[in-house]
Structures are given as C-alpha cells and as structure tokens.
Structure 1
Amino acid sequence: MKREEILAKVDHTLLKPESTWEQIRTLCDEAVANKTASICINSGYVKQAVAYLAGRVPVCTVIGFPLGAMSTEAKTFEAQQALRDGAVEFDMVINIGDLKSGEYKKVEDEIRAIKEAVGDKVLKVIIETCLLTEAEKEKMCDIVCDAGADFIKTSTGFSTGGATFDDIALFARCCRGRCKIKAAGGIRTVSDMERFLELGADRLGTSSAIKILDNVDAGNNY
C-alpha cells in the first residue's frame, strides 16, 4: 500500500498520562502534515486541540479510558463535555466486568446511551480483546453492532496485549459489515499495518505509524 493510503486510515494517537500540550501540538502538526484520519487524545486536551487544528484534522477522544470500570453516567458526561469541546470521534471502553458477569444488556445499554449522547458523531467501542475469551469477543461483535456503534475496536494499548490478526479476522467474520473495525495496540511495522487493513480493519490506532513509515522511506529497518 502507498504511504498516504495507510496514513488516511490512522488515528494518530497520544494517550500517555504524562503528555504535555507541547507534545499534543506536535501530534497535531504531524497529523496535518501527513493527512491522518484523526488525532486521538485524552479528553482534557480536546478543546485546545480543536482550536489549534481549526478543522484541519478531526479530533478523536477516549471515554472511560483505559479501564472502562466507571458508571455509565460518568462516561456519558465525559462524552457530552468532549462533544461540546469539539470532538467528532469517541473511543469508549466497555465495562469488562459487566461483560464477564454476563450482564450483556447492561453493556449494550451503555453503548447505546453513549451513542445517543454523541449523536451523528463517530463512536468506536473498545472491548479489550486481550482480556476476553473467543466467545466473549464474538458476543461483543453482536452487542456493538446492535447498539448502533460505528466501530468495534480491539484494545486500549494499556492492558496485557494489543491487536492481533486473529482478532481482526474474528471481527470481520462476526460483524459482517454491520460496523467498521479498528485495530489498536502493538502495531509495530508497515507489514502489520498492511495486514490489519487487508484483514478488514478500517482504522488503525497507533502513536508510531508516521515514525515507522519515515524509517522505511529513509531506507532504515524498524
């Protein structure tokens, strides 16, 4: 794939808790220069980033990140505030404990509530695949699609593992085009990015895509 084709699918990401505004601004500049799909940042920086970017690149933020173990009301409020601040894409973390407890309706209702809160903006649902069984992943494909979310997403990047090829193939098989797919966490090479996209990912979440591609363009091994 061409460099620009890959980057057009990338949410250029910086979610480290120690991130400074200077680092976020650099992220914005890189996203503009490389025409990424969005930047993905913590909600506290959304208002500044939206003002700085002035529409040049969409701003995505995370909701209930990285654990997902807070109330639906708290997640909904966070999403509404980020919407007021100008975010147009939202990556929420499910309550994994609820899923493990078999509280499927509760999980679905929460996703639906947040989708209602953000309206026609893009909602991506992080299910943290590294903590789930195959049956739970399959169940979440149905839940995410039935709740009206726009994407199902593999990982926060803050747990025990990130995206795998097998998980993206599972998503593609179980979602059957009912929602889009985002691979995130542990993407390290150009071949990783290309393979995830070939398997059915519509978006990639990574902090290093530009660096990886720059190294390849410079003839370096990464």
Structure 2
Amino acid sequence: MNHETEPTPADVAGIVDHTLLKPEATRAHVDALIAEAADLGTYSICVSPSMLPVTLPEGSGLKVAVVCGFPSGKHTSAVKAFEAAESVRLGADEIDMVIDVGAAKAGEFSAVEADIAAVRAAVPAPTVLKVIIESAVLTDDEIVAVSKAAEAAGADFVKTSTGFHPAGGATEHAVALMAQTVGGRLGVKASGGVRSLADARRYIAAGATRLGVSGTRALLASGDDAGAGTSASSSY
C-alpha cells in the first residue's frame, strides 16, 4: 500500500482480517463470512478454533486467521501452544494469540515473552503469529515492553485488542506507539472498534498494517465523517 496517498476502499479491504468471533456463531455464519470476504476482497477471515476446518472459494486467495487463548489470555502456555498447533493442523494460516495481560500489568515481561515463544515454537514460520496485547488496559511503558517481548519471542505482528475487553479497543495513540516500538520489523494490527473508512485511514496513518474488522461491508461503504472517535467498544 502507498502510504503517501489516501488508501482507497479496495486498499483498505486488502489489509482486513474479516472477523467473526461471537460465541453464538454457527457454521452457516462462517460460510456467509467467507462468501462476503471473497466478495469484498479482504486479506483473510478470522474465526474461532472450533469453526475449523473451513472451505474457501477456489482462487479467492483468502487466508485463514484463528484466535488462540481468546479472549482472556489466562490459559497456560502449553494450552495456547496446543490450541495454536491444532488450528494450524486444521488449516489456519495465521494465529492471533492473547497474552496474559495480568503478567504484563505485574511487570513480568519475561513471562509474557516466554508465553509468546511457546506458541511460536508450536507454530513456526510460515505460520504468521500475531500477539494481542489488549493495549487499552496497558500504560505506554507496558505497551512498549510487551511489544518488545513479542518481537524477542519471534512474533510477526503486535495487535491492539481482542475487541471484547470493557476498557475498549484500538486507539491511534496505541497503534503509533506500537509501530514506533517495532520499527517496521513486525506488522501492527488495529482491532476493536474499527468501524469506518475514516477509522481505518487514521489507523493506517498511525502505522497499522492490518485491520481486524467485523462489519467490513459497512466500513468500506461508509463516509469519511463516520466513526469519528479514536477508540470504541467491541466490534466483534
């Protein structure tokens, strides 16, 4: 994507993980999600592990992202590692894991790194590993430390939010801080409350290279005056 010009709706779609993580989601809902993702030209779909395996339209080019340790992150590293490996076995191309946010709040960043490293070892490249840090709960110093831990553990992306935490989702400030910390060596995914083209363009300008969106069709059709806030509650 050319960051010197304003991203078009097609540009934005091309970096969207089209997401369905509601507990009540059925296979019919996932089938509809896949069809919509193919129609809109999104980068991937993002679903829960129990929804695997999925069947993608031939030639769609869609990737399959699956969450891990979701949404609390309070699973043991061994459980997260098994869940991630099982998802890859069933067809996942990318894993979006949740850190133990409590460990980060306690300043136990070596434990956070070890947790991420356990999942990385279970799903080595070419599987893409994204690390959800729940940025709305963290201080700036904690965001920096956790982003550094993710990089040290071999992650491919840092990601703002699950979209389920009451503290909120992505903010431009958090995205910019994460992007500055990883310096282009890792991708940055903004998720949680990304609802309009205006939102998407702000996050991209702040440094996001991937977006987690559930209402993708509405986002791509929205005007630039929609979704003027810089953070919002869950869109998942």
Asked if Structure 1 and Structure 2 have the same fold, meaning a TM-score greater than 0.5 normalized by the shorter chain, the answer is yes
Which 5+ residue runs of structure 2 have no aligned equivalent?
Answer: 1-6, 228-236
TM-fit CA distance, 1:117? 1.1
C-alpha separation in 2, matches of 1:189 and 1:34: 15
**1:24 match: secondary structure:** helix
Question: How does the TM-score come out when normalised to structure 1?
Answer: 0.93
Number of the residue aligned with 1:166: 173
Q: Which amino acid aligns with 2:93?
A: V
1:194 deviates by 0.7
Structure 2 CA distance for aligned equivalents of residues 191 and 199 of structure 1: 12
In structure 1, runs of 5+ residues without a counterpart are none
Equivalent position of 1:87 in the other structure: 92
1:115–1:149 CA contact under 8 A, matched in 2: yes
Give, in whole Å, the separation in 2 of the partners of 1:77 and 1:199.
34
Query: 1:105: which partner in 2?
Result: 110
CA distance in 2, matches of 1:126, 1:220: 28
CA RMSD of aligned residues (A): 1.7
Which secondary structure state, in structure 1, belongs to the residue aligned with residue 86 of structure 2?
helix
Residues 46 and 59 in structure 1, CA contact (< 8 A), matched pair in contact too: no
Q: In structure 2, what is the equivalent of residue 118 of structure 1?
A: 123
Structure 1 runs (4+) greater than 6 angstroms displaced: 219-222
SS of the residue aligned with 1:187? coil
Matches within 5 A, 1:196-215: 196-215=203-222
**Correspondences of 1:39-50 after superposition (within 5 Å):** 39-47=45-53, 49=54
What does the per-residue CA deviation read over 1:109-166, in whole Å, with 9 as the maximum and x for residues that have no partner? 1111111211111000000011111110111121111111000000000002000000
Pick closer, same or farther for the CA change 1:71–1:163 going to 2, 3 Å: same
Task: Give CA deviations for 1:5-51 in whole Å, capped at 9, x if unaligned.
Answer: 0100100000000011111111000111111110000010121x2x3
Partner of 1:130 in structure 2?
A: 136
Report % sequence identity. Answer: 41
Deviation for aligned residue 1:74? 0.6
Deviation at 1:102, TM superposition (A): 2.3
Q: What is the number of residues matched between the two proteins?
A: 218
Do the aligned partners of 1:12 and 1:207 also contact (CA within 8 Å) in 2?
yes
Aligned amino acid, residue 97 of structure 2: M
* 3-state SS of 1:87 partner: coil
In the alignment, which residue of structure 1 is the partner of 2:162?
156
The amino acid of 2:137's aligned partner reads: L
Candidates 51, 54, 69, aligned match of 1:64: 69
For the 8 Å contact 2:196–2:226, the answer to whether it is kept is: no
What's the secondary structure of 1:174's corresponding residue? helix
SS in 2 for 1:12: strand
| Alpha-carbon spacing, 1:55–1:16, altered in 2? closer, same or farther (3 Å) | farther
